[in-house]
Chain A
Amino acid sequence: MFDKEKLFLIIQREYLVRLRSKMFIVTTILAPVIMILLLVLPTLVMVLSSDHERRYAIYDETDIIARQMTESDSLSYRVSESDPAELREQLQTGQIEGYILIPHEVLDGQGKAAFYHDGSAGMTTTSKIRSDIRQQVRSVRLDRLDTSDEILAVINERVSVDNFTVTKAGEEADTGASAIVGLIMGFIIYGAMFGYGTIILRSVMEEKSTRVVEVIASAVKPFELLMGKVIGVAMLGLTQFLIWAVSGAVLMMAAGPLIAMFAGGGVDTAEAAEAAAITIPTIGPMVWVSFVLFFLLGFLIYSSLYAAVGSAIEQESDSQQLQVPIIMLIVIPIIFVMNVADNPTSTVAVVLSMIPFFSPILMPVRMSVISVPFWQIGGTILLMVLTFIVLIWLSSRIYRTGILMYGKKASFGELWKWMRQT
């Protein structure tokens, strides 16, 4: 079916040309740098900006709650010396960003505390204030009831839960922390589908718009050119992951000390290092293997779609309309990804993760949380392979007509027509 020599030549060209391109070098270096920054930045911001924290004035009729809140968190709260009317004026003139009113009824289990602000307080602040007030009110009321220390200890006790997955074979693995790894994998694959898909689209489009495709087509079958391109770019993707995996592991080990260095003398270095420490939960090799496998299969499926679009257009701005269905297919699993991570065994999760277009993102997520039954993994892989074969066949029919069609922007109707042409 294929001329092996020609196919090899095409794969070699597609791979090497891109490997040496500035684009590849830049994304390979920048992606992990951005990733590290994203992981490290929140810690940095927290450490560096702690003295700019807003302090809310508390007008307290009970006299005790505000005092206790201020004692426990003097960075966030202060006891107000002004009455509510004055506070309100200060807020309106912008002298303060917010204040809290605590009526004395709260200590009788009635009445409501109120938080007034200029709109700058977000969800995190509001829920922090709510929980701080609740905690102080509870402790004052328990105190008044002469609760014994033992009961207080019981009330404040936290119970930790370890998470184990027990397989049929009786092995057990701590899977609690690995959901985050699954999610990261899911998002990397999500980005990769877009990134590498676009590479395929551009590459097909450029061959068409520079007209080089006609020269190539007089020497090889369009299908060989298409397959060579897809395989070459897939190898490029694997190369990039390999570089990231190796350099990422090295950088992550260095991240803790790095933060400590940035944070400098003002902060306890050990504390900062601890805050920044990123530990990779131990996950089985199966998850890594599945990550590569689902990336590859997903890439093959989506690249055949992108190639069809690329062959229909001459410039990238014409691709918008034709790309919409592909983008939707990639985005849908992201909408469900949290749901699937929370309920990996639900029927919805099983079905969604087995739909070939969604599997590349959802299956690694499920596999990192639970041990997915073999029939589901095997079935999904089979479905994906079949989907790829059908799609690449349809796509190559669009492709071989599309690459020779110039001058007009193709619509979906046009693509359908090309697909049915003999």
Chain B
Amino acid sequence: MINTIVEFENVTKQYGDQKAVDDVSFQVKEGRIFGLLGPNGAGKTTSIRMLTHILVPDSGSIRLYGERVGAATQRKIGYLPEERGLYKKMKVGEQLIYLCRLRGLSKEAARKSITYWLDRFEATEWIGKEVDELSKGMQQKVQFIATVAHDPQCLIFDEPFSGLDPINSELLKEVILELRSAGKTIFFATHRMEQVEQLCDDIALFNKGKLVLNGNLSDIRASYGKNSIRLRFSGDNKFLDSLENVRINNRSVHFAEIRLLNGADDQAILREAQKHTRVEGFELIEPGLQEIFIDTISKEKTSDV
């Protein structure tokens, strides 16, 4: 049986008249990577801040390992906030030890763990440097180490890849998957869909404080059916503009992902494409997360009216 690690139950948080999180319920299972998605201002960061007990919900309850969140559950989490921050004038080693000890590690255990992680990120020589002297990318790594070094069971990453170059993004992705195989539960907030598609097992989609979609990522995609076309071609792509009842994503000179709407005929589109260009590839696919995201949110909008 898979244990439930995180449980939101009818959680609401209000700032003034505005509901930042509105009656949200969902669960996160052990050992999974859980993606929290949504546009800016959808309530992702507020939800995370409540999970880390920085904010307290107005109503509803949040449980971590079956325990209401509070000072005790704070020790079980590692939190990488969206807005990164370290003490600028403190040395990397001292700072990491301080942050580990605030989460209950002994000095020796903290030192041991930090040695391992600095080595893992090939950053051992930074230990005596002040954070100020490091580049942005290096600071990001140090902050990531600060999040994982006390070996928490549940990790919360808010936009972990923002500001990382491709090489470091790859390294971080590797580490996140490593953590998952080590049995950690990972809570992952972002608005970058391709990362979610690559990493997440389950997702929760937020819009304007409400949870609008929740479940297993592949189940959700399957439920949409193969209602999109991936088309590769050479020639003039102007014919795409004249197609009706479609939405075109990821359009480029030789490539387009075409979402079929209102029962548009895929074969008719193929014929149209052949008329104007040389078709090099044609495939019916499940919609991308980007598409599901837009679809769900636009449905929300129409139901609002």
Query: A and B: real partners?
Result: yes
- Give chain A's interface residues, CB within 8 Å of chain B: 3, 5-6, 9-10, 13, 17, 21, 206-207, 210-221, 404, 406
Q: If A3-B71, A211-B84, A214-B54 touch, does A219 touch B103 (CB 8 Å cutoff)?
A: yes
Q: How many A-B residue pairs have CB under 8 A?
A: 63
Task: Give the secondary structure class of A's interface.
Answer: helix
CB distance from A307 to the nearest CB of B (A): 17
Question: Please, which residues of chain B bring their CB within 8 A of the CB of A13?
Answer: 98
B52 within 8 Å of A by Cβ? Answer: yes
- Give chain B's interface residues, CB within 8 Å of chain A: 49, 52-55, 71, 74-75, 77, 79, 81, 83-90, 98-99, 101-104, 143, 146
A9 touches B54 (CB 8 A): no
8 CB contacts below 8 A, A to B, read A5-B104, A9-B102, A214-B81, A214-B83, A215-B79, A215-B86, A217-B52, A218-B79
Question: Please, which residues of chain B bring their CB within 8 A of the CB of A9?
Answer: 98, 101-102
A368 to B146, CA, bound (A): 52
CB distance from B174 to the nearest CB of A (A): 23
B102 touches A219 (CB 8 A): yes
Identity of the chain A residue whose Cβ is nearest the Cβ of B99 in the assembled complex: A215
B74 touches A212 (CB 8 A): no
Question: Please, which residues of chain A bring their CB within 8 A of the CB of B103?
Answer: 219
Question: Please, which residues of chain B bring their CB within 8 A of the CB of A219?
Answer: 74-75, 99, 102-103
A120 to B179, CA, bound (A): 81
Task: Give the secondary structure class of B's interface.
Answer: loop
A17 to B104, CA, bound (A): 21
A211 touches B49 (CB 8 A): no
A215 touches B81 (CB 8 A): yes
Question: Please, which residues of chain A bring their CB within 8 A of the CB of B55?
Answer: 404
Question: Please, which residues of chain B bring their CB within 8 A of the CB of A6?
Answer: 102
B85 touches A211 (CB 8 A): yes
Identity of the chain B residue whose Cβ is nearest the Cβ of A400 in the assembled complex: B54
- Set A210, A215, A220: member contacting B146, Cβ < 8 A: A215
Identity of the chain A residue whose Cβ is nearest the Cβ of B49 in the assembled complex: A404
Identity of the chain A residue whose Cβ is nearest the Cβ of B101 in the assembled complex: A9
Question: Please, which residues of chain A bring their CB within 8 A of the CB of B88?
Answer: 206, 210
- Set B54, B86, B104: member contacting A212, Cβ < 8 A: B86
Identity of the chain A residue whose Cβ is nearest the Cβ of B88 in the assembled complex: A210
CB distance from A421 to the nearest CB of B (A): 9
Question: Please, which residues of chain A bring their CB within 8 A of the CB of B98?
Answer: 9, 13
B85 touches A218 (CB 8 A): no
A218 to B99, CA, bound (A): 10
- Set A3, A210, A404: member contacting B85, Cβ < 8 A: A210
CB distance from B110 to the nearest CB of A (A): 11
A6 to B71, CA, bound (A): 11
Question: Please, which residues of chain A bring their CB within 8 A of the CB of B143?
Answer: 215
A56 to B208, CA, bound (A): 85
Question: Please, which residues of chain B bring their CB within 8 A of the CB of A17?
Answer: 87, 89-90
B81 touches A211 (CB 8 A): yes
Question: Please, which residues of chain B bring their CB within 8 A of the CB of A406?
Answer: 83
A406 to B83, CA, bound (A): 11
A211 to B131, CA, bound (A): 14
A211 to B83, CA, bound (A): 6
Q: If A17-B90, A218-B52 touch, does A213 touch B85 (CB 8 Å cutoff)?
A: yes
A213 to B88, CA, bound (A): 12
Identity of the chain B residue whose Cβ is nearest the Cβ of A210 in the assembled complex: B85
A210 to B86, CA, bound (A): 7
CB distance from B76 to the nearest CB of A (A): 11
Question: Please, which residues of chain B bring their CB within 8 A of the CB of A206?
Answer: 88
Question: Please, which residues of chain A bring their CB within 8 A of the CB of B87?
Answer: 17, 207, 210, 212
A17 to B52, CA, bound (A): 27
- Set B77, B86, B89: member contacting A218, Cβ < 8 A: B77
A214 touches B85 (CB 8 A): yes
Q: If A214-B85, A218-B77 touch, does A404 touch B102 (CB 8 Å cutoff)?
A: no
A212 to B131, CA, bound (A): 12
Q: If A9-B102, A13-B98, A215-B99 touch, does A221 touch B71 (CB 8 Å cutoff)?
A: yes
CB distance from A6 to the nearest CB of B (A): 6
A139 to B142, CA, bound (A): 86
A206 to B84, CA, bound (A): 13
Question: Please, which residues of chain B bring their CB within 8 A of the CB of A5?
Answer: 104
Identity of the chain B residue whose Cβ is nearest the Cβ of A405 in the assembled complex: B15
A3 to B102, CA, bound (A): 10
Q: If A218-B54, A404-B54 touch, does A21 touch B89 (CB 8 Å cutoff)?
A: yes
Question: Please, which residues of chain A bring their CB within 8 A of the CB of B85?
Answer: 207, 210-215
A210 to B90, CA, bound (A): 13
Name, among A9, A21, A217, A219, the residue most crowded by chain B CB atoms within 10 Å (CB to CB): A219
CB distance from A402 to the nearest CB of B (A): 13
A212 to B143, CA, bound (A): 10
B102 touches A216 (CB 8 A): yes
CB distance from A411 to the nearest CB of B (A): 15
Question: Please, which residues of chain B bring their CB within 8 A of the CB of A215?
Answer: 79, 81, 85-86, 99, 143, 146
A216 to B99, CA, bound (A): 8
Identity of the chain A residue whose Cβ is nearest the Cβ of B58 in the assembled complex: A422
Question: Please, which residues of chain B bring their CB within 8 A of the CB of A217?
Answer: 52, 54
Identity of the chain B residue whose Cβ is nearest the Cβ of A221 in the assembled complex: B71
Identity of the chain B residue whose Cβ is nearest the Cβ of A3 in the assembled complex: B71
Question: Please, which residues of chain A bring their CB within 8 A of the CB of B71?
Answer: 3, 221
A218 to B49, CA, bound (A): 8
